[in-house]
Structure 1
Amino acid sequence: MNRRKKIKAILTKRSKQANRKANPPKTKPKYLSKAERAHLEAEATTNQAPSIDEASAPQTTDRQQN
């Protein structure tokens, strides 16, 4: 019984390794520290171009052009 158990344990271990290798876990995004996130957020706000608000911009329609 021990021999059979050992063989089965070896084969299940190998099959689990093969499954892990064939289906790697999903990669997580790289960890960013709180300071790095704040720095990136600050850069994003400074580099952001001022956008024109669509509600304040005059809208033209076909009726106005005629």
Structure 2
Amino acid sequence: MNRQKKLQQLFKAKAQKANAKLAPKKPKYICKADRLKAAAEAAEAAVSSPE
């Protein structure tokens, strides 16, 4: 494999990795404390809204 092809391959691989990081398929991680806080707020909103 010549040098030029090797370099092109490396650049393409790095670009693909960068694009994969920019557009992740997984949802963003939310820590346990924030999840509990959001659940409590949702429960509080559900309790107060029927009134």
TM bracket, shorter-chain basis:
0.5 to 0.7
1:10 is matched with 7
Structure 2: gaps spanning 5 or more residues: none
1:29 is matched with 27
Aligned pairs, number: 46
Q: Which of 14, 37, 40 is matched with 1:39 structurally?
A: 37
Give the aligned residue type for 1:41.
Answer: A
Pairwise CA distance, 1:24: 2.0
Normalising by the residue count of structure 1, what TM-score does the alignment of the two structures yield? Answer: 0.47
Secondary structure in 2 matching 1:24:
helix
Normalising by the residue count of structure 2, what TM-score does the alignment of the two structures yield? Answer: 0.56
Pairwise CA distance, 1:43: 0.6
**By percentage of residues, which structure has more helix?**
2
Question: What CA distance in whole angstroms lies between the structure 2 residues aligned with 1:12 and 1:30?
Answer: 30
Identity, in percent, stands at: 33
